[in-house]
Every structure is written in C-alpha cells, then in structure tokens.
Amino acid sequence: MKSRIGALLLALPVTAGGFSLFGMRTKASAESTPAYWTGADGSGVVAVYEGGDCPIEVKRETLTFRITDLPLVSFDGYDSTVTAEYELYNPLPRDVSLSVFFPLGLQPSYHDIYREKGAVLPGAEAYSVTVEEDGEVQAADIEFRRTYYSGGYSSAPFNAVEQIPLDSYIENEMYGRGMRVTRYSYTVTAPSEGTYYTFCFIYDCNPRKTQVICESGVTGTIDGRGIAYAFLTAGERREVTFYAVGEQLASVNLDTRLCVGWGTSSEEAQGGTVSVMTETRQTFADFVEEFRPLEDTEFGSVSELDWYNAVVAMLASGESGRLFLSDEVQLLDYLMLWCEYSLTIPAGGTVINTVTAPVYPGIEGSAPKYTYDYMLSPAQYWADFGSITIRIETDYRLYSSSLPFAKTENGYVYTKNSLPMGDLSFSIAKAEYTGSTYDPYDNPSPTIMTALILLGVVVVIAVVIVVVAVYIHKRNVRQLIQKQERLDRGRAQEGHIDLPEESSKDGDHRDEKNDDHKEDS
C-alpha cells in the first residue's frame, strides 16, 4: 500500500486572511465593487512514494512571484505567475520515482466578472512542469484530477497529504459500491393558486442502515419520523424522487403530504395531485455514475474514479446530496482541482523540477490590498531541506509581509539557509515604491493602527480604573479603622466599662459633690 508523504514543491496562492480551501463563492455583477474577493485557493504539493518516508532532499528552493498585473484592474489579459524551482537530490543507490500532486483549488471569485466582461483568466495551458537532468530540459505530462474537500466549509486546517486524489475507490461502510439504492418517485402537481408548496416524504428507518437523500438536500425528523422535502411553485408539475441508500424502506410506513408554503408548519394544500409511487433499485456505484458530468472542461472531464470518490467523501462528511442531484447546483463547481505528474530522480543524482502556475490574490478594501498566501510548512516532509530564496518581481509596493523582505532593483527578496517556520503571506498595493528597504513593521496596515490606538485607549482607561480603585480602597480602609476604633472605646476590657468622656465628667462631678457632702457632715 502506498504511503502518502507530503513534500512541498509548489504552494499556490490561497485566500487572503488565512487559508481556506473553499472560500464562500458568490455571484456578482460586473458593476459591483465588493470590499473583498477570494483568490485562487491551494496548498503545497504532495509526493507519493511507495517505499515509506520520502528519501529525497531539497538542496535549494527558489520561489519567484512575477506580479505584472492585478485582477480586475484590466480585462485585456492576466499574466501574473508564480514559479517554483527545486534542486532535488536522491542519496539512495537506486532510482526513486514519485507521483507528484499539487492542488489548484477553485477558480477565484472574480472569475465570473471576467466572463461577464467577455474576458478570460488563464486556463490549463498556463500550468507547466519541467524536469532538468544533466542540462536537458523536458516537459512533464500533466493530468488534472479532482477531489471533494469538506473542510472548506469550516476553519479546519488543510492537510494536503490526506487530501490528494486516490488511485482506488474509497471504501465506506454506508456508501459501498455494491450498496443498494432504492428510488421512490412521484409525479407531483402543485395547485395553481398561491405561490410555493412543499412536498413531504415521511418514512421510518434505522439511520445506521439507511440514509435518505434528495434533490433539495433538505431532510430531518418530525414527530419521531424521518422527512425529506421537495419544493414546487404554484402550478408546477414535475417528477420528485427520493433515494434510500442501504436497506429498503417499508412501503407501509411511507407517507406523503403536500403543504402550502415552505416546510410543514402550514396547512395541507387543497388541490394538486400526487401520482402513485414507483420503486426502482440499482447499485450505489451505478447510481453515482448516472450523475457524473460527461462534458469536457478546459481541464478535461472528471474521471469515473474521481467522481465516485468525491461523491462518497461529500456524503460521508454529512453534506446533503443536493450538490450532485440538483440541476441548480453543480458538484463539479465545488470540486478541488489538482495537477498530477510523475518524477524520477536517478540514484545519487540531482534534478531540477520547475513548476509554473497563475497566481490569483485575494482582494480587500475599496483602496485594495492584494494578498498572496503561500504554504511553506509542508516542506518539512522532505528528508532534508537546504536553502530558500523568495523573490517578488513587481513594480507595485510591498504593503506587508510575514517575512522580512529586502528591497531590490526588480522588487523584493528574502533568503534563508533553512526552511522558515510558518507560512508566507504578503500584500501589495498599487502605490509607487518608497525607495527604502522594506520592513514589515514600518508600514502597519490601517487595521493594525486602529487596533494599536484602541489598545492605547484601553490601557489608559485601565490605569485610571486602577488608580480610582486604589483610592477608594484606601478610603474604605481608613473609614473601617476609624469605625473600629470607636467600637473599641465602648468595648468591655478587663472587667471595667469605659464610659464616654461626657459621662465620665458627669460622674466625676457627682463624686465631687458627694465628697463635699461628707465633709459637711
């Protein structure tokens, strides 16, 4: 069995503000100017080696970002790229062959704007891989693969080693290739009056043995029973199908209901028709294949293997079947695109592997910053790692960066004789050069400045609160001491009573009178 060993060759740009395989993609008009666009998501390349831990060493790595233009500034073309060049050394006395993958992610969210303008972003032809050995350079054959990544909808960190396309079908207890799928189909006609209607499919089953999925993707429970929904507009007539994966549902326990509006909270509809149910059965593998898109895209059609594994991964993650059953939402648009190629490094030899790809930044703000995120950390999976040089060739100004770049004639550069800890993130702006060596702390962003100002205000307020609290505390202590002293003066001590001064004086005065009376006697 193959061991998947992560080996970073190329880390494509990911979304601004942090890594997210699948940022929320929203359709936008070409006239709209949102404050935030997601870039093309990606991660580091993974090398699959059948012998266990990858023995290949990286002697040097050079990353070059050639940022000649920025997205949405012009629609005459887009040429910005990132090139990763690696000197790979094989210390073993035998050749080592690797299957290499790097994820291309999804299209950037501004892709639709280019399409509305009649322009296009670079396609498959913009991705290239070459291998140089003994001065001879050859182009590698590239195959585009697809996977489903459920972590894209959460903040879960991406692990390229665990997400690469597989060369075999996923084995899943619930969604096995030979598992039975039963279709329950109805022809439903909604009443012509009103606006919206909900057709409810109500059933009983053991969720560990049967899963019901449907085109709407909306399922749940009601009154202790399972329920799946289909939504229709007034007067609409269409076939509605529900799918039970696993054990067949008992027909005697099936109920249907056509309700007014959305869901079951409203009353049952008056009018409309529901045909008699029909049942058909097939294997899960045939069921999935039936919905595979066969049309070719610029990256080719999705293979039977990749499609099956994507559907299983999607369903196993808890996602509904809507992404591949509905005509309105295409699972293909939510699949992660990968580039795969083979690489052989001779015994005791060295090859130079070069990968070039378009680079799509995230865009933030009305006076936009363009942010490029690049994962460096997966490179720790190589047997050894030497030096790294990162160049940013651009006429734009480097606004901020997680690494301390130095200014050069053509842009900026960073070098280190080991792998940096953490990942690379940098932002550029359209302003002219400042002409000074770049320091990531020289030009803090407005967000950082605002945070620092607020922090200063908070500190001042905190100091005032502390001073006031200390003053009040000392005052209370003094009052408490004074009160205690007054109480002590009236407390019984050693069998005597200490009377107040006025009483004592009165007592003394009476004693003097008594003495005078005795003397007179």
Report CA-CA distances (Å) from 517 to 34, 96, 166, 504, 512.
107, 128, 122, 20, 9
Identify the CATH number of the domain defined by range 180-290: 2.60.40
Question: What's the pLDDT score for residue 32?
Answer: 34
- DSSP H/E element including 415: strand 411-416
Nearest to 256 by CA among 186, 182, 327: 186
Which residue in the block uniquely carries the two structure tokens 């094989």?
90
Question: What's the pLDDT score for residue 26?
Answer: 32
Q: Are the C-beta atoms of residues 421 and 388 closer than 8 Å to each other?
A: no
Question: What's the pLDDT score for residue 263?
Answer: 64
Domain-wise residue ranges, the chain: 3-166+331-439, 180-290, 448-511
Cα distance between residue 7 and residue 57, in whole Å? 10
**How many helices (H) and strands (E) would you count in the chain?**
7, 27
Collapsing DSSP to helix, strand or coil, 496 comes out as strand
Residue 445, class by beta-carbon neighbours within 10 Å (0-12 exposed, 13-18 middle, 19+ buried)?
middle
Three-state secondary structure string covering 17-37: CCCCCCCCCCCCCCCCCCCEE
Structure tokens at 122: 């670079």
Structure tokens at 135: 């001065």
Q: Are the C-beta atoms of residues 8 and 375 closer than 8 Å to each other?
A: yes
Cα distance between residue 101 and residue 338, in whole Å? 7
Question: What's the pLDDT score for residue 143?
Answer: 93
Give Cα 502 to chain centroid, integer Å. Answer: 82
Contact partners, residue 409, CB within 8 Å, separation at least 6:
none
Residues 78-97 as b or e (16 or more Cβ within 10 Å = b): bebbbbbbbbbbbeeeeebe
Cα distance between residue 347 and residue 90, in whole Å? 6
Three-state secondary structure string covering 308-342: HHHHHHHHHCCCCCHHHHCCCCCHHHHCEEEEEEE
Name the phi and psi angles at 230, rounded to 5: -135, 140
Contact partners, residue 144, CB within 8 Å, separation at least 6:
104, 124, 299, 300, 337, 338, 339, 340
pLDDT, averaged in runs of 10, over the chain (521 residues):
40 34 32 50 64 88 94 88 93 93 77 82 89 94 87 57 88 95 95 91 95 90 92 93 94 88 75 88 95 83 94 87 74 81 95 91 87 83 92 96 96 96 90 41 47 62 59 52 49 42 45 47 43
Sign of CA dihedral 144, 145, 148, 154: negative
Question: What's the pLDDT score for residue 344?
Answer: 94
Which residue in the block uniquely carries the two structure tokens 């407005």?
446
What residues are paired with 354 via a beta bridge? 85, 130
Q: What is the DSSP letter of 170?
A: P
Identify the CATH number of the domain defined by range 3-166+331-439: 2.60.40.3680
Cα distance between residue 300 and residue 146, in whole Å? 11
Q: What is the DSSP letter of 382?
A: S
Question: What's the pLDDT score for residue 453?
Answer: 63
Whether 3-166+331-439 shares its CATH topology with 180-290 is answered yes
Question: What's the pLDDT score for residue 385?
Answer: 93
Q: Are the C-beta atoms of residues 378 and 159 closer than 8 Å to each other?
A: no
Question: What's the pLDDT score for residue 44?
Answer: 55
Which residue in the block uniquely carries the two structure tokens 């291998």?
131
What residues are paired with 411 via a beta bridge? 393
Cα distance between residue 451 and residue 456, in whole Å? 9
Structure tokens at 45: 């390349």
Question: What's the pLDDT score for residue 476?
Answer: 53
In this structure, how many other beta carbons lie within 10 angstroms of the beta carbon of residue 181? 22
Cα distance between residue 516 and residue 315, in whole Å? 113
Q: Are the C-beta atoms of residues 255 and 239 closer than 8 Å to each other?
A: no
Cα distance between residue 474 and residue 363, in whole Å? 55
Question: What's the pLDDT score for residue 320?
Answer: 77
Nearest to 41 by CA among 371, 341, 320: 371
